[in-house]
């Protein structure tokens, strides 16, 4: 099956945007140097993958990135894995993010931090730069060195950003987790990377409640014997600090190093800057190591060119420090924009809180999850009618495929004037394969384009591009932000197995995707969760699109059950408040799926459950439920789940329905 009808255009760039967006200016700049001419975005994209080295060299220059020693070439080795970006370069990550902290930009707001437990905190670029220098001096005084790991159990706020910048300024490697993680889940991550320093909050607020965690985090410190120092942030004012001999309060650490400038220690281009983690639902998470130059240049391209973020902009991405979108958000500092951070529940004190903040702070770029947008639609929110969103130019959405109906809501009740940028990539590349551009229209239910410099196509099982229809999302040429390694994987075997076993020499990302005839993309879910009833591949997102636009359904999850050599589809649903899974609703759901998708998509079983399991970064846990239903002996790591009790509830319901494997 393929997406044959053209999706209607729901937004088009104004002439002003075409003339003034940084992507358009970049195109004109390239043409002025003798490249092109480029008739449109698609021509620019073709050139960017055909002449990869020239493209990335020009991104570096156009975005004004800085280094102490220039590279000898853009791309040394081209092998995947093992591509060598910017060999010979010496640079510093924090030095690039704070490159506008001096001079006249020093007085511009850098960070505005909202949270449930403290007053709003506002800091300028000059103040941020001073605090980064002070904290770096403190870390150095405790023996933290280049190459050491600095870990943060922190909320999405000012201290997380300053801590990351201080660590990367001295050439240390930053890694963070959210303070709502269990101690086991944090140790599963940080225990592998053996940090020298830890920045930790004394608790956090969520949904109007406070959660003091001093004693838990004392246990965490005891479980990390490599620590030389701990900095405690008073996230819960009036609560005690995290106890321990290694602990220094944040204010004292800053006071110790006051007046010291950041060193911006030069490092090699593939020197690790971040360690991120896979979700870890089937064991200890994989530690994904990102290199300095590659991550930096890719984020510059995504934020400045595709996102059109600049020094006068105000950027808010709702995230936690346990999700790669936090790292992406942090890189907005390199554009000179004000970064508005929000910590807490997106629904507290009401679901309109984030929209209210966007209006109040005159936000130009707002990022959130597809799940949040769907929640606003279902709750009947109308921010377009009640708030002044005139400054808002771009709304980013990620985390899961955005439903066509959510495009409708955004352009009628959400932010009708804004470019709705559905973006998709992953922790693995800490960035995007497909996403938005200010030079193209937005079509209902579609991601706009493959990003510049990304040679993404859909492969069939034969390892060849599909002419039309769906396939595996692959990337045929190296991208700068592909990981430099997995931690503690000396021969690179686990890294190769993760991305290059399916199609040798080609990155297989694990998404089931279709590229449309006009260059857009539709993601149908994870390819390892695709369903195969009667041998036809069905993406889980195709069923969610039908079910989750039904007013009577709050949430759902779909998996395949192996039976007698075939697959039958099982759909779990959480009814909306005031609804039950009646015979009428069952008929309605089946009819809707049959008409909106196909008869093959219709589930064999539809089971009501109280909740759907999610990872801590907000992704549905399809595979753990599929393993449960198919009797896999693979153990699931419950610490990786935000709500592990939901898995138990599903197991109980499957037992009641006699759908669990025998024995």
User: What pLDDT, on the 0 to 100 scale, is given for residue 632?
Assistant: 73
Please, are residues 397 and 367 in contact by the beta-carbon 8 Å criterion? Answer: yes
Q: How far apart are CA 77 and CA 591, in angstroms?
A: 54
Residues 261, 328, 478: CA angle, nearest 5 degrees:
110
Choosing from 521, 549, 575, the residue where a domain stops is: 521
Burial code of 370-379, b = ≥16 C-beta within 10 A, e = fewer?
bbbbbbbbbe
pLDDT bracket for residue 616 (50, 70, 90): confident
Q: How far apart are CA 568 and CA 154, in angstroms?
A: 43
Percentage helix, strand, coil, to 5, in the chain?
35, 25, 40
Asked whether residue 350 is assigned to any structural domain, the reply reads no
Are 560 and 444 contained in the same domain?
A: no
Asked whether residue 381 is assigned to any structural domain, the reply reads no
- Alpha helices (H) along 313-440: 324-330, 353-360, 370-379, 383-386, 404-409
pLDDT over 90 at 609, yes or no: yes
Residue 293 is part of a domain; what is its CATH number? Answer: 3.40.50.12780
Please, are residues 40 and 20 in contact by the beta-carbon 8 Å criterion? Answer: no
User: What pLDDT, on the 0 to 100 scale, is given for residue 1?
Assistant: 36
Choosing from 521, 555, 585, the residue where a domain stops is: 521
pLDDT over 80 at 6, yes or no: no
Burial code of 205-224, b = ≥16 C-beta within 10 A, e = fewer?
bbeeeeeebbebbbebbeeb
Are 458 and 600 contained in the same domain?
A: no
User: What pLDDT, on the 0 to 100 scale, is given for residue 304?
Assistant: 98
Residue 534 is part of a domain; what is its CATH number? Answer: 3.30.300.30
Are 471 and 573 contained in the same domain?
A: no
Asked whether residue 361 is assigned to any structural domain, the reply reads no
**pLDDT per residue as tens digits for the range 468-522:** 889 999 999 999 999 999 999 999 999 999 999 999 999 999 999 999 999 999 9
Asked whether residue 306 is assigned to any structural domain, the reply reads yes
Number of other CB atoms surrounding residue 34 within 10 Å: 7
Are 569 and 604 contained in the same domain?
A: yes
**pLDDT per residue as tens digits for the range 72-82:** 999 999 999 99
Are 461 and 570 contained in the same domain?
A: no
What is the percent of the chain with per-residue pLDDT over 90, rounded to a whole number? Answer: 85
Asked whether residue 58 is assigned to any structural domain, the reply reads yes
Q: What is the DSSP letter of 460?
A: -
**Average pLDDT over all residues of the chain:** 94
**pLDDT per residue as tens digits for the range 51-67:** 999 999 999 999 999 99
Are 550 and 513 contained in the same domain?
A: no
Helix (H, G, I), strand (E, B) or coil at 494: helix
Please, are residues 624 and 281 in contact by the beta-carbon 8 Å criterion? Answer: yes
Asked whether residue 241 is assigned to any structural domain, the reply reads yes
User: What pLDDT, on the 0 to 100 scale, is given for residue 599?
Assistant: 85
> What domain count does the chain have?
2
CA distances from 473 to 47, 305, 311, 568, 607 (A): 20, 23, 34, 25, 31
Sort strands 365-369 and 109-115 into parallel, antiparallel or unpaired. Answer: unpaired
Please, are residues 98 and 165 in contact by the beta-carbon 8 Å criterion? Answer: yes
Number of H helices, E strands in the chain: 21, 29
pLDDT bracket for residue 284 (50, 70, 90): confident
**pLDDT per residue as tens digits for the range 407-421:** 999 999 999 999 999
Asked whether residue 159 is assigned to any structural domain, the reply reads yes
Choosing from 465, 488, 521, the residue where a domain stops is: 521
Number of other CB atoms surrounding residue 380 within 10 Å: 9
Q: How far apart are CA 585 and CA 33, in angstroms?
A: 62
Helix (H, G, I), strand (E, B) or coil at 281: coil
Are 125 and 75 contained in the same domain?
A: yes
Q: Which domain covers residue 181, as residue numbers?
A: 11-15+46-207+226-345+423-521
Q: How far apart are CA 454 and CA 473, in angstroms?
A: 12
CB burial of residue 391 (10 Å; 0-12, 13-18, 19+) = middle
User: What pLDDT, on the 0 to 100 scale, is given for residue 259?
Assistant: 97
Are 122 and 233 contained in the same domain?
A: yes
Classify the phi-psi angles of 134: left when phi > 0, otherwise alpha if psi is within -120 to 50, otherwise beta: alpha
Please, are residues 239 and 211 in contact by the beta-carbon 8 Å criterion? Answer: no
pLDDT bracket for residue 103 (50, 70, 90): confident
pLDDT (average), residues 303-307: 98
Residues 158, 423, 401: CA angle, nearest 5 degrees:
115
pLDDT (average), residues 69-94: 96
Task: At 329, list the tokens.
Answer: 């958000």
Asked whether residue 124 is assigned to any structural domain, the reply reads yes
Are 502 and 590 contained in the same domain?
A: no
Are 427 and 571 contained in the same domain?
A: no
Q: Which residues pair with 641 in a beta bridge?
A: 615
Task: At 406, list the tokens.
Answer: 């959510």
**pLDDT per residue as tens digits for the range 335-359:** 999 999 999 999 999 999 999 999 9
Are 517 and 535 contained in the same domain?
A: no
Q: Name the residue among 578, 594, 329 with its Cα closest to residue 586.
A: 594
Are 186 and 287 contained in the same domain?
A: yes
pLDDT over 60 at 329, yes or no: yes
């Amino acid at each position: 099956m393929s997406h044959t009808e053209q999706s209607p255009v729901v937004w088009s760039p104004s002439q002003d945007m075409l003339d003034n967006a940084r992507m358009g200016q970049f195109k004109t700049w390239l043409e002025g140097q003798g490249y092109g001419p480029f008739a449109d975005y698609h021509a620019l994209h073709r050139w960017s993958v055909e002449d990869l080295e020239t493209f990335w060299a020009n991104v570096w220059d156009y975005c004004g990135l800085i280094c102490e020693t220039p590279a000898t070439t853009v791309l040394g080795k081209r092998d995947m894995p093992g591509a060598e970006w910017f060999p010979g370069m010496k640079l510093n990550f924090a030095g690039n993010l704070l490159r506008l902290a001096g001079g006249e930009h020093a007085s511009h707001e850098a960070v505005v931090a909202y949270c449930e437990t403290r007053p709003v905190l506002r800091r300028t670029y000059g103040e941020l730069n001073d605090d980064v220098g002070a904290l770096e001096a403190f870390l150095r005084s405790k023996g933290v060195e280049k190459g050491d790991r600095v870990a943060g159990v922190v909320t999405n706020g000012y201290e997380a950003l300053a801590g990351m910048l201080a660590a990367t300024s001295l050439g240390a490697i930053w890694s963070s987790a959210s303070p709502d993680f269990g101690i086991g889940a944090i140790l599963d991550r940080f225990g592998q990377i053996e940090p020298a320093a830890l920045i930790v909050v004394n608790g956090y607020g969520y949904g109007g409640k406070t959660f003091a965690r001093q004693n838990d985090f004392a246990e965490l410190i005891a479980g990390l014997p490599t620590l030389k120092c701990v900095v405690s942030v008073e996230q819960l004012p009036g609560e005690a600090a995290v106890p321990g001999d290694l602990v220094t309060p944040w204010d004292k650490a800053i006071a110790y190093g006051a007046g010291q400038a950041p060193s911006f220690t030069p490092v090699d281009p593939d020197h690790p800057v971040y360690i991120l983690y896979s979700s870890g639902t089937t064991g200890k998470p994989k530690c994904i190591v990102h290199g300095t130059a590659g991550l930096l240049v890719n984020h510059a391209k995504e934020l400045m060119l595709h996102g059109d973020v600049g020094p006068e902009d105000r950027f808010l991405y709702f995230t936690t420090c346990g999700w790669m979108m936090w790292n992406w958000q942090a890189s907005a500092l390199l554009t000179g924009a004000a970064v508005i951070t929000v910590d807490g529940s997106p629904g507290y004190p009401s679901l309109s809180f984030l929209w209210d903040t966007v209006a109040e702070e005159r936000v130009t770029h707002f990022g959130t999850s597809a799940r949040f947008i769907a929640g606003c639609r279902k709750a009947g929110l109308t921010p377009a009618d009640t708030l002044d969103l005139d400054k808002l130019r771009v709304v980013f959405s990620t985390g899961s495929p955005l439903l066509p109906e959510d495009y409708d809501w955004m352009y009628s009740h959400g932010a009708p004037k804004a470019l709705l940028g559905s973006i998709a990539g992953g922790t693995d590349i800490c960035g995007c394969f497909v996403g938005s551009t200010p030079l193209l229209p937005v079509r209902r239910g579609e991601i706009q384009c493959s990003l510049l410099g990304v040679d993404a196509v859909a492969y069939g099982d034969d390892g060849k591009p599909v002419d039309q229809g769906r396939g595996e999302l692959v990337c045929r040429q190296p991208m700068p932000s592909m990981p430099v390694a997995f931690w503690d994987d000396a021969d690179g075997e686990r890294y190769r197995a993760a991305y290059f076993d399916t199609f040798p020499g080609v990155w297989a990302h694990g998404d089931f995707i279709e590229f449309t005839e006009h260059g857009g993309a539709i993601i149908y879910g994870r390819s390892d969760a695709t369903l195969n009833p009667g041998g036809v591949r069905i993406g889980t997102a195709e069923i969610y699109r039908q079910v989750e636009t039904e007013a009577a359904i709050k949430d759902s999850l779909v998996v395949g059950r192996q039976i007698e050599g075939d697959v039958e589809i099982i759909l779990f649903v959480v009814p909306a408040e005031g609804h039950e899974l009646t015979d009428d609703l069952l008929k309605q759901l089946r009819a809707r799926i049959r008409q909106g998708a196909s008869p093959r998509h219709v589930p064999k079983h539809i089971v009501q459950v109280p909740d759907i399991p999610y990872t801590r970064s907000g992704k549905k846990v399809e595979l753990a439920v599929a393993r449960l239903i198919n009797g896999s002996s693979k153990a699931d790591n419950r610490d990786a789940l935000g709500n592990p009790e939901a898995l138990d509830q599903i197991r109980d319901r499957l037992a009641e329905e006699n759908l669990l494997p025998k024995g």
